[in-house]
Structure 1
Amino acid sequence: MADYRGIEYLRKKLNRKRSRVLRRYKFYEMKNIARDMGIATPPSLQWLQAVLGWNAKAVDSIADRLEFRGFRDDNFDMTGIFRMNNPDILYDSAVLSALISSCCFIYISKGEDDFPRLQVIDGANATGIINPITNLLTEGYAVLERDDNGKVTVEAYFVEGWTVIYRNGVPVQLFEDNVPAPLLVPIIFRPDAKRAFGHSRISRACMSITESAMRTLKRSEITAEFYSFPQKYVVGLDPDAEQMDKWKATVSSLLQFDKDEEGDSPTLGQFQQQSMAPHLDQLKMFAALFAGETGLTLDDLGFATENPASQEAIKASHENLRLTARKAQRAFGSGFLNAGYLAACLRDDYQYYRNQVYMTTPIWEPVFEPDAAMLSNIGDGAIKINQAVPGYFNADNLRDLTGINMSNLSVTPEV
């Protein structure tokens, strides 16, 4: 116990990081407010706010392409544990949360039937001290419940061998286990030696570009008012003339001005009409910067260029996105493997060695689903390679390429 930092240290650590995670969730949920420069916005339009969904697009473009299939050589039936815990929701929830906050956690506990339960906790409600070798925690802390005002009501402290549940700051339950690590497993996006808890998909550059684009949208919205109704003026009108209604004068198709006693008449004019082109060009510039930062294309951000003709063209235009997705698969697969390993130890009440699961590998569906032309190319390539190296391609690695499972239906020929 002397080597542990303690729950109070982890509480303070979470409070330091929580605001950063919540800020990224605001950008993802499009609830962020861009600071106004206070130059081009009239006081009567200070309330106007623009909304932009580029950050949600950047996250979803990766999350929607990551489909976890399970484990190969699953000697401890870890896939079965995940299947008993709503895997369709669990995997997607963990992937999405980790992409936004750089790291989420899977909380493992025993259910009423003593079978492991898995719950995803976002990075704003959990933290810990990580072991850089195994990527498991040495101790962890998680907020399990908050009241309507965001105050912590139920929290948990994890160390190897036991978990303590706190309610309103007071320990109320102690759960002992025979598991070689705390029952809180990190799922990390793009970890490195300096930042063991990874990097968020919504980077500082993404947030800065989005705020600049939001200000551009706001300025264009204000300019559109003057673009729709250009400002007009009247010169030489008699000061004693009857005042006209400005709005009626703006939308009226015919105005009448009589000459005065000296025979002079007022001069009508119109200011130059505001142009929307500079705002559109600036917004497109920010879209290009955001696309370069995230590996998207201008088509993804709403600026239509030209439609790719084939799956290969789509893959070529999203090459950076594909590399990011493959990198995420490796990191998330390791996290899911760690969660399955600890859940298997909890299920069997036995401390398996970590090296006993080294042959178990996470498998994912293809990042890009192949079209008919791509399937034909894969088939031709598999035939030629199998002719050169018999048995090189089989049902397993072909599914890894195509994402299509082999049919198990047996067809009886007609007699």
Structure 2
Amino acid sequence: MNKKGMEYLRRKLVSHQNRVNMRYKQYSMKYYDQDVSVTIPRQIRGRYRSVLGWCAKGVDSLADRLVFREFTNDNFEVNEIFDANNPDVFFDSAVLSALIASCSFVYISKVEGGLPRLQVIEASNATGIIDPITGLLTEGYAVLERDDRGQPAVEAYFSSTQTAYYYRDPDVEDFSIANPTGHPLLVPLIHRPDAVRPFGRSRITRAGMYYQKYAKRTLERADITAEFYSFPQKYVTGLSQDAEPMETWKATVSSMLQFTKDDDGDKPNLGQFTTPSMSPFTEQLKTAAAGFAGETGLTLDDLGFVSDNPSSVEAIKASHENLRLAGRKAQRSLGSGLLNVAYLAACLRDDYQYLREQFVQTKPKWEPLFEADASMLSLVGDGAIKLNQAIEGFVDGETIRDLTGVKGAGSDG
């Protein structure tokens, strides 16, 4: 296969960088939507600009449930590599970045006298050409460091034979390191890949961004309307032309206004405009929340519309069925990427090109998406007894842990 080269990959990264950065801004609640109102002046909308964290909630609700446990059938002792790379931070960072930007990358480097080092690089700083069969890259490019203006300061080009480093500082000489693994040492972790989008799909979808934008506009309109709701507009008719002009603020906040009859004995008439209701905005906001919840597999409770009756674990699982399915799909796709990381890290550690087929028995394991409560533990225990009565030894401690996440006394791991 012909190589695309570093210049091509650099242009490819630039072309995708804006979309990735936009989703990171959506996640961090720093993205400013364009003004589309035809009735509210721009300067007034700027004073009442709303901030909403639904996109962040949609990502975190799934990312917090994706807890990696270990690799089973670890014939190549890859668990020790991950244990040496701060796994509590590494796995969470890799999963969160993949859910926000559709994919993240793991940069593998060798440390003399130690285990390989693993570093998570977000999709705005790395790209490559993917092999659709193995999920590995045929060549890759990453920005390892940027200067204060956001320009690349240290770049790396990954090939199957070497990793080349390029420095913007002319005083630092470029160099390359041999790669003994036969694959580029930049591995993608992809969320929901398919044939059309081999680098996956973001958890922050276009529909989700629309519903959040719709809700933000509703909050802005409600906030502006609340000013008129707090101080309803009043009017006076029938005032004499000789009457002194009334001070607007005094007429608004004064508890008593005095008007006298004119020379003809006529008196002014006081009135008040109809106060706008806040109910339509509440309904609009709930409509937007329902659309966003359906898009992300959440419930209205997750978005702040609390129901009266508290839910049990089983009820929560039933209401989050779409979220559970999304979590299982994410575990499969991200687990495949983590296995590729384990494969190349083992090759680099042992300085030997293992066959990818040798790792097919090594399986990534995740904690259950929903933690078990006392009721679930009781139901699982009763079911395990009945299954073992029918087929002896069918359910063991490891199976129970996979179902409940509870590690029994004396078990390993």
> Which band: TM-score by shorter chain?
over 0.9
Deviations 1:339-396 (A, max 9, x none): 0110011011111111111100000100000100000000000010011111111111
- Mapping of residues 247-396 of structure 1, within 5 Å: 247-396=249-398
- One-letter code aligned to 1:174: S
Count of aligned pairs: 408
Alpha-carbon distance in structure 2 between the residues aligned to 1:45 and 1:271: 22
**In the alignment, is the contact (CA less than 8 A) between 2:35 and 2:42 conserved in 1?**
no
Deviations 1:318-358 (A, max 9, x none): 00000000100011111111101100110111111111111
- One-letter code aligned to 1:100: I
Alpha-carbon distance in structure 2 between the residues aligned to 1:135 and 1:265: 85
2:147: which partner in 1? 147
2:106: which partner in 1? 106
- Mapping of residues 58-137 of structure 1, within 5 Å: 58-137=58-137
Greater Cα offset, 92-101 or 174-183: 174-183
1:178 partnered with 2:180 = yes
Q: CA RMSD in A?
A: 1.4
Equivalent residue for 1:199, pick from 188, 198, 201: 201
SS at match of 1:88: helix
1:239 partnered with 2:238 = no
2:30: which partner in 1? 31
Alpha-carbon distance, 1:38 to partner: 3.5
Alpha-carbon distance in structure 2 between the residues aligned to 1:13 and 1:86: 31
Greater Cα offset, 324-333 or 33-42: 33-42
Alpha-carbon distance, 1:112 to partner: 4.5
Alpha-carbon distance in structure 1 between the residues aligned to 2:107 and 2:144: 10
1:10: which partner in 2? 9
Alpha-carbon distance in structure 2 between the residues aligned to 1:263 and 1:71: 94
Are residues 61 and 324 of structure 1, via their aligned partners in 2, closer, same or farther at CA, if it must alter by over 3 Å? same
2:167: which partner in 1? 167
Deviations 1:133-152 (A, max 9, x none): 10000000001111121111
Alpha-carbon distance, 1:99 to partner: 0.2
2:57: which partner in 1? 57
Alpha-carbon distance in structure 1 between the residues aligned to 2:113 and 2:280: 64
TM superposition score normalised by structure 1: 0.96
**In the alignment, is the contact (CA less than 8 A) between 2:109 and 2:118 conserved in 1?**
yes
Alpha-carbon distance in structure 2 between the residues aligned to 1:323 and 1:214: 29
**In the alignment, is the contact (CA less than 8 A) between 2:144 and 2:156 conserved in 1?**
yes
Stretches of structure 2 lacking an aligned partner (at least 5 in a row): none
TM superposition score normalised by structure 2: 0.96
Stretches of structure 1 lacking an aligned partner (at least 5 in a row): 410-415
- One-letter code aligned to 2:19: R
SS at match of 1:124: helix
Q: Which runs of 4+ in 1 moved over 6 A?
A: none
Greater Cα offset, 341-350 or 46-55: 46-55
**In the alignment, is the contact (CA less than 8 A) between 2:45 and 2:220 conserved in 1?**
no
SS at match of 2:123: coil
Alpha-carbon distance in structure 2 between the residues aligned to 1:39 and 1:3: 53
Greater Cα offset, 142-151 or 4-13: 142-151
Deviations 1:103-125 (A, max 9, x none): 00000001253420000000111
**In the alignment, is the contact (CA less than 8 A) between 1:191 and 1:198 conserved in 2?**
yes
Alpha-carbon distance, 1:46 to partner: 3.2
**In the alignment, is the contact (CA less than 8 A) between 1:98 and 1:189 conserved in 2?**
yes
- One-letter code aligned to 2:61: S
